[in-house]
A and B are shown apart, each in its own frame.
Chain A
Amino acid sequence: MEKVKLKLLYSDLKPELDMIEKELEQAVDSESLLLNDASLHLLQAGGKRIRPVFVLLAGKFGNYNIDVMKQVAVPLELIHMASLVHDDVIDDSETRRGKPTVKAEWNNSVAMYTGDFILARALEYISEIDSPKLHHILSKTMIEVCRGEIIQIEDKYKLDQNLRDYLRRIKRKTALLISSSCELGALVSGTDEKTAAHLRRFGYFIGMSFQIIDDILDFTSTDEELGKPAGSDFIQGNITLPILCARKNPEVYSLLKNNLGKELTEPERLHIVKTVRDSTAIDEAKAISERYLQKALEELAYLPKGNANKTMRKIAFFIGKRKF
């Protein structure tokens, strides 16, 4: 339902997004039936397509030409998809958006080849654009996203890490690709540099807020809403903002410390989720997300008024208040 609501916010873009959806399907077409099936399996699981949306919206601040915009929007979504299929191997995930993951439906090797195939398709597609600056930005982003994931694995089970570690991690893991979506949309539509910089920062702030909310929802949503057990981040040893806030209470700290990395029983998991949910941690984490959201809105204030600005504002508010 929430996904539908989010899509309503950018319903003006529906014809373009439908076109991008078709392009995505064509992009994963392969002479290997197996790769074709696995890629379509992933594609048809759906998604918010938030990266293409930001590319298109950013493009509205320049000379918007859908044929050019989709050359960036499609590969950015493909890069995101490739990372998801590999992430499911990393996290050993059985389901994604309520459907079996590629690794669960086939095996880890097929997931690796599917990810490599989709990523190569993305690069094949985007290299139609002969813009060194675009490729510098995107390649740097891809490396930083990987670094973020490597650090996330390094920082697992480290309850005593600080807020800066967490923020740096989510910047790389999530915010950079959204930020780049906005920046590249601005670049290919030929906006001036100032506008592109505001859009890049908007994407960064909204990406930070988005990830913090995602981490909050891991504790506040039900298993059904999440399509996986609530508290999965904690179970996997990922120290997210709600945990960092909750650990300030010595009793909660002990509870978390004693259970981190342990094989949890169902009652133990539910107890931890409830403890974090009932603490002040959720409100504190929301306040930090809200600060990023405000910064994102400040960036929008520098941009020309119009439909794109209005839609970005609505998306920002939605992200700040989303329930799952």
Chain B
Amino acid sequence: MNEQLIHSKITSMEIDVLRAVKQRTLEKFTEGPSVERARLFFLLLPYFDGKHWSGEIEASAKTVSIVYAALHAHDQVKENASATKKQQLTVLAGDFYSGIYYQMLANLNNITMIQRLATAIIKVSEKKASFHDGLDRTTAELDRSVQQIETELLATFYNFYGFDHYTPLATLMLSYIRYKDELECLQGGSETRIIRSLNETLQHPLHTERWLLEKLDNLHDQISLTINSYNFNYDLKNFMLHQITPHQHRAEQLTREG
């Protein structure tokens, strides 16, 4: 499958997901559902890799994407802000998307998947809460939490349909994307919960920046190694390395910055 076909399949799935959660007021007053293409790519990875893929599996993949959108909406609720109309509707957007994914799985009579995803949401919520509990954590513990937040739902989907062998690679790549976003936030002067926790552990934003740069280099090296252990075709491998996790090595970045 070439690059264009991969893009086209992801777009088609994105349109389906957006259609499933469409709601006029939410569309007007909130940022709308976040359906990240990288996540859609990983949900579709078994299909791109030529594995058995049915309508039911694709429908389940869409519901996982909707769960991500639901949880992401709730991540957008400001920690201490008062209730603006946008904030109020963002809370409801998350709840509405949760109802939709539940209904979609109920319509598929996939009750087991409802249960598995619920268990995954519990784990993700627990890990997200761990960034608010004020307990001291090592960077390794924070890293494990980030990994689980990013991949628990996807890993549940893979496990349910027997695609577990993609989990290690997806964990590396989704963690990479998350840390890249965090680095951009840090360099752009904004603070996220993860950055705040890293700052608390590492005691200085500069140390956090260095830790993130090294982490990205490490993850990239691991991705390059891991990806070769799969039997992906050239186009798919290329797509993953250059479209999903394009990397600028720390050394290159430092040289460019002068």
Q: Tell me if chain B binds chain A.
A: yes
Q: With a CB–CB cut-off of 8 A, which chain A residues contact B98?
A: 116, 119, 142
Binds B, one of A132-140, A269-277, A294-302: A132-140
Beta-carbon contact of B99 and A142 below 8 Å? yes
Interface pair A116/B89, CB less than 8 Å apart: no
Report if B38 contacts A (CB, 8 A). Answer: no
Kindly list chain B residues whose C-beta atoms are within 8 Å of the C-beta of A68: none
Contact A143 B77 (CB under 8 A): no
Pick the residue among A35, A123, A149 that contacts B92 (CB under 8 A). A149
Contact segment of A86-94, A209-217, A219-227: A86-94
What is the distance, in angstroms, from A47's C-beta to the closest C-beta of chain B?
A: 19
B-chain residues with CB within 8 Å of residue A317 when the two chains form the complex: none
A 87-110 contacts with B by CB, 8 A: 89-92, 106-110
Query: Which residue, of B88, B114, B130, has the highest number of chain A Cβ atoms within 10 A?
Result: B88
From A90, A123, A139, A151, give the contact of B118 (CB < 8 A): A123
B187 contacts A by Cβ under 8 Å: no
B248 contacts chain A at the CB level, 8 A cutoff: no
Contact of A153 among B80, B88, B125 (CB under 8 A): B88
Q: Which residues of chain B from 67 to 98 have any CB-CB distance to chain A below 8 Å in the complex? A: 70-71, 74-75, 77-83, 85, 87-89, 91-92, 94-96, 98
Is B106 a contact partner of A139 (Cβ separation < 8 A)?
yes
Contact at B114–A135, with CB atoms within 8 Å? yes
Q: Which of A108, A149, A150 contacts B79 (CB 8 A)?
A: A108
Q: Is the CB of B92 within 8 A of A139?
A: no
B103 at the A/B interface (Cβ < 8 Å)? yes
Confirm or deny: A1 has a beta carbon within 8 angstroms of a beta carbon on chain B: no
Closest to A32 in B: B126
* Given A113-B129, A116-B121: A90 in contact with B94 (beta carbons within 8 A): no
CA distance A49 to B248 in the complex (A): 56
Q: Does chain A have a CB within 8 A of B133?
A: yes
Contact in complex: A127, B109 (CB < 8 Å): no
Which residues from A are CB-within-8-Å of B139?
none
Whether a CB of chain A sits under 8 angstroms from the CB of B193 is yes
Within 8 A of B (CB), among A137-164: 138-140, 142-143, 145-147, 149-151, 153-154
Whether B94 lies near A116 (C-beta < 8 A) is: yes
Nearest neighbor of B98 in chain A, beta-carbon distance: A119
Q: B122 in the interface, Cβ–Cβ < 8 Å?
A: yes
Number of B residues, CB within 8 Å of A = 49
Q: Specify which chain A residues have a CB less than 8 angstroms from the CB of B125 in the assembled complex.
A: 32, 35, 113-114, 116-117, 120
- Identify the closest chain B residue to A37 (Cβ): B133
Instruction: Give the residues in chain A near B233, CB-CB below 8 Å.
Output: none
Most B C-beta atoms less than 10 A away, residue of A31, A123, A130, A136: A123
Give the contacting residue for A136; candidates B26, B92, B106, B112; CB below 8 A: B106
Residue B102 is within 8 A (CB to CB) of chain A in the complex: yes
- A109 CB contact (under 8 Å) in B77, B89, B96: B77
Residues of A within 8 A of B99 (CB): 139, 142-143, 145-146
Whether B122 pairs with A150 at a CB distance below 8 angstroms is no
- For B78, give its contact among A31, A33, A34, A108 (CB under 8 Å): A108
Smallest CB separation, B28 vs chain A (Å) = 9
Task: Say which residue of B23, B95, B105, B121 sits within 8 Å of A86 (CB atoms).
Answer: B95
C-beta contact mask, A231-242 vs B, less than 8 Å → 1, else 0? 000000000000
Q: Looking at the assembled complex, report how far the CB atom of A273 sits from the nearest CB atom of chain B, in whole angstroms.
A: 22
B111 A143 Cβ-Cβ under 8 A: no
Q: Which of B79, B92, B109, B121 contacts A90 (CB 8 A)?
A: B92
Question: Cα distance A30–B117 when bound, in Å?
Answer: 16
Report how far A245 CA is from B189 CA in the complex, Å: 53
CA–CA, A324 and B103, complex, Å: 35
Asked if B132 is at the interface of the complex by the 8 Å CB criterion, the answer is yes
Shortest distance from the beta carbon of B124 to any chain A beta carbon, whole Å: 8
Q: Which of A110, A127, A149, A154 gathers most chain B CB within 10 Å? A: A127
B128 contacts the other chain (Cβ, under 8 Å)? Answer: yes
Q: Is the CB of A32 within 8 A of B133?
A: yes
A31 to chain B, nearest CB (A): 6
Check A150–B102 contact: CB distance below 8 A.
Answer: no
Most-contacted residue by chain B among A35, A91, A120 (CB, 10 A)? A120
Interchain CB contact under 8 A, A132 and B121: no
B25 in the interface (beta carbon within 8 A): yes
- Picked from A117, A127, A143, A151, the residue with its CB within 8 Å of the CB of B115 is A127
Q: Are B26 and A150 in contact (CB under 8 A)?
A: yes
| Closest Cβ–Cβ distance, residue A307 to chain B (whole Å) | 33
Chain A residues lying within 8 Å of B2, measured Cβ to Cβ, are: none
**Residues of chain A whose beta carbon lies under 8 Å from any beta carbon of chain B:** 30-35, 83, 86, 89-92, 106-110, 112-117, 119-124, 127-130, 132, 135-136, 138-140, 142-143, 145-147, 149-151, 153-154
Q: 24 A-B contacts, Cβ less than 8 Å apart? A: A90-B83, A107-B79, A108-B80, A109-B79, A112-B74, A115-B95, A116-B125, A117-B126, A122-B118, A132-B106, A132-B109, A132-B111, A136-B106, A139-B102, A139-B103, A142-B98, A142-B102, A143-B96, A146-B95, A150-B26, A150-B92, A153-B88, A153-B89, A153-B92
Given A90-B91, A128-B115, A143-B103, list of 6 further CB < 8 A pairs? A121-B122, A135-B105, A139-B99, A143-B100, A150-B89, A153-B89
